[in-house]
Structure formats: C-alpha cells, structure tokens
Chains A and B, each alone.
Chain A
Amino acid sequence: DAGVIQSPRHEVTEMGQEVTLRCKPISGHDYLFWYRQTMMRGLELLIYFNNNVPIDDSGMPEDRFSAKMPNASFSTLKIQPSEPRDSAVYFCASRLGTGASGGYTFGSGTRLTVV
C-alpha cells in the first residue's frame, strides 16, 4: 500500500493566487481528514469527509478555504485568494471505520508558503 499521498510536497505562491492541495487516501478508507499545522496553533482539523460527504467543516478558517472529495480516491483543499497567514503545513489523513479506533494514516504533508 502506498499510504496517503499528498501533492505537491512544497508550494510557494504569491499572495492573492489560488492554491490547490491534493490528497489520495488509502484505498478502502472511508474517512478523510484535512489538518493544518503551524507553530502558533499546532495541528488543527479543518474538515473531514465520510464516504466523500463533508461531515464537519467547522475548522475551515474562512470562506477563502474550500474542500472537495469528488470520489473515494481523491480530495482537494483550495485556498482562493491565498494570504501570507495561510503559510503552514497541510496534512491529509485517512481512516477506515467509525469512531477513532479505525486508525489514522497521515500523508507527508504539503508545505505552503505564501509570499
């Protein structure tokens, strides 16, 4: 199994530009999570999906952020327009099963720098 695959690994963009982060979960996993990691705020859950349906997006910072999961093998997190304070490492994780017992597998993350 290739694990959770995120792309790109690094992204540098100018303020105001649109940024799209991509995630391929582990095949068969029915939950997908997007986390953001910063020095100031640590690891924050942004949104999670169950069977491709968004369940809880209360962590999405503002309307500039949007996430989609068009099918079971692909999800995107989009920031439009991007701002310097969006600079962070964005992690995708997937899990099989209900409750937290299914075990979460994290991707290697996308390091986003907005200049």
Chain B
Amino acid sequence: AQSVTQPDIHITVSEGASLELRCNYSYGATPYLFWYVQSPGQGLQLLLKYFSGDTLVQGIKGFEAEFKRSQSSFNLRKPSVHWSDAAEYFCAVGGITGGGNKLTFGTGTQLKVEL
C-alpha cells in the first residue's frame, strides 16, 4: 500500500529565511510525487510534480523539490520565504497502475511565516 509521511505538523520560519518541508513516501513501484499548497478556505493548488528524469524539479512560486530514491524522500524547499507562503502544504504519492491511479496524501505541514 502506498503511504506518505510528513513528520512536521507545524513549522515557523522568518520571512526571508530558507524553508525545507520533509516528505517520505512508501510505494512499491516507481512513484509519482506531488506537492500541493492549500490556503485557508481554498482548494489544493499544485506546486510541482515528479515523474522521472532530473531528480530536482522546479515548481511555481519559487519552490523546488528533490527526489531521493535511496531515502524515499521528496522534500520541498524554497530559498527565501515570503509572508504569502503561509499555508498548509501536502505531499502526495501516486503511480501508474492499479491503486496508483489515486493520490495518497500526507497529513500536511502548516507553515507560519513570521514578519
């Protein structure tokens, strides 16, 4: 069964500081990995996705993520956080066959940005 672990429930960073949100996944085949962001009262917006190829993927709003197969990780990073980045971030894993047609989400990391 596929699963996603986001070990940090809450993270607080100062505006302008760097950010790394952790994500570990479990999947029996080649995973498709995603990061979504959710602002209060809003739906989920896709930040970036990884399917194959270069393990460092660039997304919207200056975010990037690195796929590390050996560590089963897909951590999200941003070099300089803006106050508008405050939101909840979800990592998700899916695949190419069977149950992989559906996304499994982590429990989310709530990001607070201090001015």
Contacts and interface: CB of A to CB of B under 8 A. Distances in A.
Interface of A: 4, 31, 33, 42-43, 45, 48, 50, 55-56, 91, 93, 98-101, 103-109
Dominant secondary structure of chain A at its interface with chain B: strand
B101 A101 contact: no
A99 B101 contact: yes
B76 to A, nearest CB: 17
Dominant secondary structure of chain B at its interface with chain A: mixed
A10 B104 CA distance: 25
Interface of B: 32, 34, 36, 42-46, 49, 51, 90, 94-97, 99-108
A91 B43 contact: yes
Contacts of B42: 108-109
Given A91-B43, A106-B43, A101 B51 contact: yes
Given A99-B32, A107-B43, A48 B102 contact: yes
Contact of B105 (A42, A55, A105, A108): A42
Contacts of B44: 91, 93, 106
B95 A99 contact: yes
Contacts of B94: 99-100
Contacts of B36: 106
Contact of A100 (B43, B90, B103, B105): B103
A100 B96 contact: yes
A3 to B, nearest CB: 9
Contact of A109 (B43, B99, B103, B104): B43
Contact of A55 (B32, B101, B106): B101
A101 B96 contact: yes
B46 A100 contact: no
Nearest to A92: B43
B103 A98 contact: no
Nearest to A56: B102
A104 B46 CA distance: 8
A104 to B, nearest CB: 6
Given A103-B49, A108-B43, A43 B101 contact: no
B32 A100 contact: yes
